[in-house]
Amino acid sequence: MDSLTFTELGLSEDILKELTKKGFEEPTEIQRKIIPILLKEETDIIGQAQTGTGKTAAFGLPLLEKIKKSEKFPQVLILTPTRELAIQVSEELNSFKGKKKLTIFPIYGGQSINEQIRRIEKGIDIIVGTPGRIIDHIKRGTLFLHNIRYVVLDEADEMLNMGFIEEVEEILQNINPEKNIYLFSATMPEQIMAIAKKYMKSYKVISTKNIQLTTDLTEQIYFEVRESDRFEALCRIIDIEEDFYGLIFCRTKVDVDDLTNRLIDRGYSVEGLHGDISQHQRERTLTKFKKKKINILVATDVAARGIDVTNLSHVINYSLPQEPEAYIHRIGRTGRAGKKGIAITFISPSEYKKLLFIQKIAKTTIKKEKVPAIEDVINSKKLRIKREIESIIEQGTQKEYLKISSAILKENNAEDIIAAMIKFAFERDLDERRYGEISEASVDSKGTTRLFLSFGRKDDITPRKLIKLIKEKTGIDSNKITDIKVMDSFSFITVPFEDAGKLIKNFPKEIGGKQGSIQKAKETKPEVKQKRKSKK
């Protein structure tokens, strides 16, 4: 079962083509277990799996295979706890659908409700929504769920934690009773199981092993570079290291071949591994890599399976992996056997949010660093040349060349001779023109998070005091805190999404002797306008 490919799971050629384009090579555990069942059976499912294990594709791919374009009413409703997840799931399903003319649209609070109504009236096949906004539409009479065939409850335990369970139950009561429900949750508290027993028929429970988190022996860093500068950045990283011995991950076979050829052209000792390479060639390449006859191996995730090398200095994510699970597996190949290693990830500006998601799920810290400057790379090389020459002198292995050196010394200055020999041996290596310029990349970090604080004016809180308190306790720049609303007994603030987790973790749980809390704000519910008449 573990070796099943996407093709063997029973997916159509159209979907398989889209998976190949996105660089999906091999299904994750949850995908291997759930996709065949959902393709063949009309059944309810409880899937217990951590976030980041590929759940969206596990339920999304079978749904895309099963449903056909509808003229009017939605056929699938996917409920998520947050607007960010709703957008993410919607985008991912749209990227999988290929030529299928299906309309997939996210519906969440904070987005124009009138625009949502227009989209609903045009016809949506798959709605990905947050419970609060879906309830709004039901009460307004702008969304009818009597044609829903499949309901997905994604991250059900998070919906419970955020207080959405009552809304979820109300939505389930408004849906076609013949529906199938797919419930996914990392944990299974009693309230979640109570919903399963109340609203689901005979269901199957599918669970997966928890993914192993990252090792403390692996230093994790990332570089922000434009796509066009990624190769130049990689060359600088390889060249600045004294003993680079690394595994470089690419997303697709084509990417592996392209990068391997470019590195060979640049003079590196490198070979590539992917699914089209024969077993004989694979074994030959791995043997060369283990014996350090080559010091760089470029591979896809699948091709790297089974590579057991304990002394890698680096693992490099030349392409950001599709899932946090893949990231954890990749970087777990360094920092082994008590030896420290470095895991480097390249991201383009548009991939920043995905990197934050990976960092959150892996429960790790990935530090940002600047790509080494050309001058630093050249200085590092010069230092290595100096050390190598001194090592040869210490070992006395230069003595067979003393006659020719004496002859040259009689006619030339010693410093000029050494400089000429370095030029003769290392001119190409020390040529700054080998390296291209790398322009600064600007990360797209415009996303924000609305936070609710259970402290207000009654607790002697003012906007100015709140900003000062946040800065003192978390170090977050006051300019990043916007849209502050201080009410009698609670407050709201908006911060960049990358700072929200830090703020929730470090904000004081007690102010002036009063216990309180800070958390993501629930969606506000506008007053329900007069219901539209149902057009059934």
Structure confidence at residue 336 (pLDDT): 63
Q: What is the DSSP string of 234-291?
A: HHHHHHHSSS--EEEE-SSHHHHHHHHHHHHHTT--EEEE-TTS-HHHHHHHHHHHHT
For residues 384, 387, 392, 394, the Cα torsion angle rounded to the nearest 10 degrees is -170
Signed CA dihedral, 160, 163, 168, 170: sign only:
positive
Q: Do 74 and 95 meet the contact criterion of CB atoms below 8 Å apart?
A: no
CB neighbours (10 Å) of residue 305?
14
Least confident span in 1-15, 26-40, 135-149, 179-193: 1-15
How far is 14 from 83, CA to CA, in rounded Å?
29
Residues written for the chain: 536
Which of 135-138's residues contact partners 24+ apart within 8 Å by CB, and which partners?
135/167, 135/170, 135/171, 135/525, 136/109, 136/525, 136/526, 136/528, 137/107, 137/113, 138/170, 138/171, 138/174
| Same domain as 129, residue 43 | yes
Residue 535 inside a domain? The answer is no
| Same domain as 229, residue 294 | yes
Alpha helices in 332-450 (DSSP H): 352-362, 374-395, 402-411, 414-426
How far is 490 from 452, CA to CA, in rounded Å?
7
Write the pLDDT tens digit of every residue in 472-519: 877 887 777 888 888 888 888 888 877 777 788 788 877 777 777 788
How far is 347 from 443, CA to CA, in rounded Å?
9
How far is 185 from 53, CA to CA, in rounded Å?
12
Cα separations in angstroms, 264 against 106, 162, 271, 394: 45, 53, 8, 33
How far is 437 from 374, CA to CA, in rounded Å?
8
Cα separations in angstroms, 530 against 34, 174, 463, 525: 42, 18, 37, 15
Q: What angle do CA 87, 93, 95 make, to 5 degrees?
A: 100
Mean per-residue pLDDT, 380-393: 88
How far is 461 from 487, CA to CA, in rounded Å?
9
Q: Is 401's pLDDT higher than 60?
A: yes
Task: pLDDT band for 431, please (50, 70, 90 cuts).
Answer: confident
Structure confidence at residue 295 (pLDDT): 95
Q: Share the mean pLDDT of the chain.
A: 85
Cα 33 vs. chain centroid, distance in angstroms?
A: 22
Cα separations in angstroms, 279 against 253, 296, 367: 16, 19, 37
Q: Is 84's pLDDT higher than 70?
A: yes
How far is 221 from 167, CA to CA, in rounded Å?
41
Structure confidence at residue 525 (pLDDT): 42
Residue 439 inside a domain? The answer is no
Element (H, E) at 63: helix 55-66
Residue 475 inside a domain? The answer is yes
Task: Count Cα neighbours of 55 within 13 Å in the Cβ-side half-sphere.
Answer: 26
How far is 83 from 89, CA to CA, in rounded Å?
10
| Same domain as 66, residue 157 | yes
Task: pLDDT band for 105, please (50, 70, 90 cuts).
Answer: very high
- Which of 26-30, 122-126, 319-323, 426-430 shows the highest mean pLDDT? 122-126
Signed CA dihedral, 182, 142, 130, 352: sign only:
positive
List the structure tokens of 14. Answer: 């159209």
- Which of 367-371, 413-417, 468-472 shows the highest mean pLDDT? 367-371
Residue 275 inside a domain? The answer is yes
| Same domain as 282, residue 404 | no
Structural domain span for residue 395: 378-434
Q: Is 534's pLDDT higher than 50?
A: no
Which residues lie below 8 Å from residue 195, measured CB to CB, with a gap of 6+? 153, 156, 165, 168, 169, 172, 183
Cα separations in angstroms, 273 against 47, 300, 305, 327, 473: 34, 7, 10, 18, 48
Which of 360, 324, 327, 358 minimizes the C-alpha distance to 343?
A: 327
| Same domain as 471, residue 386 | no
Structure confidence at residue 338 (pLDDT): 62
Write the pLDDT tens digit of every residue in 199-257: 988 889 998 876 665 666 789 999 999 888 999 999 999 999 988 999 999 988 899 99
Mean per-residue pLDDT, 251-264: 93
Structure confidence at residue 178 (pLDDT): 87
Residue 533 inside a domain? The answer is no
List of E strands, 112-171: 126-129, 150-153
**Residue type at 367 in one-letter notation:** K
How far is 43 from 201, CA to CA, in rounded Å?
8
List the structure tokens of 76. Answer: 């699938």
How far is 241 from 159, CA to CA, in rounded Å?
47
Residue 441 inside a domain? The answer is no
Look at 337 and 52; give whichever has higher pLDDT. Answer: 52
Task: pLDDT band for 447, please (50, 70, 90 cuts).
Answer: low
Look at 157 and 317; give whichever has higher pLDDT. Answer: 317
Q: Which of 207, 241, 275 is the last residue of a domain?
A: 207
Q: Which of 207, 236, 266 is the last residue of a domain?
A: 207
Instruction: Give me the CATH number covering residue 158.
Output: 3.40.50.300
Q: Is 2's pLDDT higher than 60?
A: no
Residue 534 inside a domain? The answer is no
Which of 316, 347, 69 minimizes the C-alpha distance to 223?
A: 347
Task: pLDDT band for 306, please (50, 70, 90 cuts).
Answer: low
How far is 188 from 181, CA to CA, in rounded Å?
16
Instruction: Give me the CATH number covering residue 514.
Output: 3.30.70.330
| Same domain as 324, residue 184 | no
| Same domain as 282, residue 391 | no
Residue 1 inside a domain? The answer is no
Q: Which of 150, 176, 207 is the last residue of a domain?
A: 207
Q: Do 79 and 151 meet the contact criterion of CB atoms below 8 Å apart?
A: yes
Structure confidence at residue 445 (pLDDT): 47
Task: pLDDT band for 536, please (50, 70, 90 cuts).
Answer: very low
| Same domain as 402, residue 362 | no
Q: What is the DSSP string of 448-504?
A: EEEEEES--GGGT--HHHHHHHHHHHH---GGG-EEEEE-SS-EEEEEEHHHHHHHH
Least confident span in 64-73, 171-180, 247-256, 289-298: 64-73
Least confident span in 346-350, 412-416, 527-531: 527-531
The total of structural domains in the chain comes to 4
| Same domain as 412, residue 480 | no
List the structure tokens of 138. Answer: 């039901």
| Same domain as 154, residue 53 | yes
| Same domain as 13, residue 33 | yes
| Same domain as 230, residue 172 | no
Q: Is 375's pLDDT higher than 70?
A: yes
Write the pLDDT tens digit of every residue in 171-196: 999 898 889 999 998 888 888 888 88
The separation between the first and the last C-alpha atoms of the chain, rounded to the nearest angstrom, is 46
